[in-house]
Amino acid sequence: MTSIKDVARTVGVSTATVSRALRGLPRVSEETRLRVLQAAADLDYVASPSAAGLATGQTRAVGVVVPFVSRWFYGEVVQGADTPLRDAGYDLLLYNLGGDRQTRRRVFGTHLSSKRVDAVLVLSLTPTDEELAWLTKLDRPVAVVGASVPGWSSVRIDDEATACIAMKHLLALGHRDIGYIGGSLEDQLDFAAPFDRLLGYRRSMSHAGLSVLPQWEAVGNFTVRGGLAAMRLLLESEPRPTAVFAASDEMAIGAVHAVREAGLRVPQDLSVIGIDGHEMAEYFDLTTVAQPVHEQGRLAAQLLLDVLATDREHAKQPSAVTVPTRLVVRHTTGPPAS
């Protein structure tokens, strides 16, 4: 059976050069590449992934760390990243944390290094100092979606500004008593979005000269069920808000259901707006601030591929990409009842 060593011996180059030539990587002259391709064809050589890894130090795998694999946002990001990685010949290794801190520690501290991935894509999490040390020791390119980390490439929206877009829409309609449904700021996995979106809500109220009542802020944990429970609490508050800004479309969908469950009308009695551009938002006629979720995964994967295709010593500085969001007005928002 022909091996990579046979091809290298025929051409008179190293096995690493053969591997780079066959995979179209840089640092191989066009003349050498053609000679390698011709020799491989003459010898009927079929590249072995494990052999390529031994020759180049690469595994052709990218580790993707996902807080909750069942959530729509993360599924869309992974799908967006998978296509360019697969087209470039990389496997995607998915690590689902399931919201568990111990699992997170095992993934960052053990699994990523033992599986020998070529790069790491982290979704939404802000790493701890210990995790930064582990990934620095791993010495692989890292990119993050939904957060910003010094020294890493990142793709994200401006969560605070996006929250302000949603609030500006409600304020322009004439609402002054506005409630908020967001994520818990305690016992979570260091997500950036809950803090920034809450900050956008509070600052928008403050800039409008409006007070925020403690009972107008409820925790929905970014799920439909959580949005349903949170809205039930807001409907019992005194005074009751005339509008609610939910920090995700899934929570907003749950909130709309709770309003209608209470025998009230949306938006005549209470307006609801979300964030994301969830695939179900149109079905529920939900007003939202949409973000390009699939595109963020694609961009992050491409940033990693750009580094992997470049000599590390000549690699560019990490890129921080902020993608735009847009207001999509449907029929869950309207002026407050007179």
Tell me the CA distances in angstroms from 94 to 69, 81, 128, 181, one per residue in order.
Answer: 9, 11, 20, 30
pLDDT tier for residue 173 given thresholds of 50, 70 and 90: very high
Give dist(CA 292, CA 83) in Å, integer. 16
Q: Give residue 109's pLDDT.
A: 85
Average pLDDT rounded to a whole number, residues 39-58: 64
pLDDT score at 310: 84
Percent of the chain with pLDDT over 70: 91
pLDDT band of residue 3 (cuts 50, 70, 90) is confident
CATH numbers and ranges of domains, the chain: 4-56 (1.10.260.40), 61-157+293-322 (3.40.50.2300), 159-291 (3.40.50.2300)
Amino acid at residue number 312? R
Q: What is the mean pLDDT of residues 290-295?
A: 98
Q: pTM, whole model, 2 decimals?
A: 0.82
Sequence-ordered list of residues with C-beta below 8 angstroms from that of 275, at least 6 positions apart, any chain: 162, 163, 166, 197, 246, 247, 248, 249, 288, 289, 291, 325
pLDDT over 70 (residue 313): no
Residue 54: predicted pLDDT = 46
pLDDT tens digits, 91-120 = 999 999 998 888 998 898 888 866 679 999
Note the pLDDT tens digit of each residue in 190-239. Answer: 788 999 999 999 999 999 999 999 999 999 999 999 999 999 999 999 99
**For residue 252, what pLDDT is reported?**
98
pLDDT band at 55; cut points 50, 70, 90: very low
In one-letter notation, the amino acid at residue 325 is: T
Distance CA 291, CA 197 (A): 14
**Does residue 320 surpass a pLDDT of 60?**
yes
pLDDT score at 228: 98
* Predicted local confidence at residue 48, as pLDDT: 55
Q: Helix, strand, coil: what percent of the chain each, to 5? A: 45, 15, 40
Judged by average pLDDT, the poorest of 13-17, 117-121, 251-255, 295-299 is 13-17
